[in-house]
């Protein structure tokens, strides 16, 4: 399976256009939160209509999974905590989203919403615990924030990750965790990739321009490649994580 991971598009329509233009080349696209931008001059409700249209068009081309991020919150739940009500409308187009658990060829995906308070955090924990009991050949989490004290959550001066996620990773040991949220991590001394125990963690980061930072995972080749304006890197998923291979002017043998 070839999977494209992006995150934090923040209503950058040229980047949504780029993802749409690449969709045919992938078996799955994951957008790990922050589809909207609360600092945009465009009204949030208008942004929602446009983003849902993009999700519908993407689903017509390939599978797509999406989770909410902190910029996507538009309502309050029964606990008076914010959540992304609008994103559940993506299910109308066949797009799995917050609290869904789709499977692809036996691999289970747990799509986690952004939690805004203790009650919502408990719900995420219950979702993960429930999915931990399901039969599967692999387990992938889609979770907007990267884990704390990880290079994928390094903002240049300190970590800005999710401490609860670290605990859940150590307790349940998923195979892969797809994140975003911390835009600077791959560029300011952090990284787009980390390994916690046997769990691979990915955060593509964010950049300006029409092409978003992105990660391509190929499960047959057991490879992950990161692409950005700052350069490209790769890791082999069937080898221990040491340092990513920099500047892919020529593909390493295990990627050919």
Question: Which DSSP string corresponds to 7-74?
Answer: ---TT-HHHHHHHHHHGGG-SEEEEES--S-TTSSS-HHHHHHHHHHHHHHHHTTSEEEEE--GGG--
Both tokens of 207, joined, read 């950049």
Segments of the chain scoring below 70 in pLDDT: 243-256
Of 221, 238, 253, 235, nearest in space to 1 by CA: 221
pLDDT number for residue 42 = 98
pLDDT number for residue 243 = 62
CATH number of the domain that residue 133 is part of? 3.60.21.10
| Chain centroid to CA 128 | 16
Which segments of the chain are extended strands (E)?
A: 2-6, 28-32, 63-67, 75-76, 82-83, 103-104, 107-111, 138-142, 176-178, 193-196, 199-202, 214-218, 223-228, 231-236, 245-246
Q: How many CA atoms lie within 13 A of 106 on its CB side?
A: 4
The C-alpha atoms of residue 182 and residue 155 are separated, in whole angstroms, by 7
Name residues whose C-beta falls within 8 Å of residue 246's C-beta, 6 or more positions apart in sequence: 231, 232, 233
The C-alpha atoms of residue 153 and residue 158 are separated, in whole angstroms, by 8
The C-alpha atoms of residue 204 and residue 223 are separated, in whole angstroms, by 15
What three-state secondary structure class fits 227?
strand
DSSP structural state of residue 88: G
Name residues whose C-beta falls within 8 Å of residue 209's C-beta, 6 or more positions apart in sequence: 14, 15, 229
Q: How many CA atoms lie within 13 A of 129 on its CB side?
A: 7
The C-alpha atoms of residue 207 and residue 256 are separated, in whole angstroms, by 28
pLDDT number for residue 96 = 98
Number of domains composing the chain: 1
At 212, give phi and psi (nearest 5°).
-75, 155
Q: What is the pTM for the complete model shown?
A: 0.94
pLDDT number for residue 71 = 98
pLDDT number for residue 241 = 87
pLDDT number for residue 77 = 95
Q: Which domain holds residue 123?
A: 2-255
The C-alpha atoms of residue 175 and residue 81 are separated, in whole angstroms, by 30
Both tokens of 184, joined, read 């600077």
């Amino acid at each position: 399976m070839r999977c494209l991971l992006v995150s934090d598009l923040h209503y950058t329509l040229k980047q949504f256009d780029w993802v749409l233009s690449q969709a045919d080349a992938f078996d799955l696209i994951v957008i790990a939160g922050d589809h909207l931008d609360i600092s945009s001059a465009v009204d949030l409700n208008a942004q929602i209509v446009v983003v849902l249209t993009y999700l519908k068009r993407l689903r017509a081309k390939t599978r797509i999974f999406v989770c909410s991020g902190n910029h996507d919150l538009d309502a309050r739940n029964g606990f008076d905590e914010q959540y992304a009500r609008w994103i559940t409308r993506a299910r109308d187009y066949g797009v799995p989203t917050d609290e869904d658990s789709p499977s692809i060829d036996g691999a289970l995906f747990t799509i986690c919403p952004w939690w805004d308070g203790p009650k919502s955090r408990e719900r995420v924990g219950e979702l993960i615990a429930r999915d931990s009991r399901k039969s599967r050949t692999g387990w992938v989490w889609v979770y907007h924030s990267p884990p704390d004290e990880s290079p994928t959550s390094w903002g240049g001066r300190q970590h800005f990750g999710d401490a609860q996620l670290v605990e859940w990773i150590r307790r349940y040991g998923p195979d892969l965790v797809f994140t975003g949220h911390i835009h600077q991590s791959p560029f300011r001394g952090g990284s787009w990739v980390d390994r916690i125990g046997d769990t691979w963690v990915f955060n593509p980061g964010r950049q300006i321009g029409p092409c978003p930072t992105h990660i391509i995972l190929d499960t047959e080749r057991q490879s992950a490649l990161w692409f950005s304006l700052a350069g490209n890197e790769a890791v082999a998923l069937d080898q221990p994580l040491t340092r990513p291979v920099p500047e892919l002017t020529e593909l390493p043998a295990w990627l050919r």
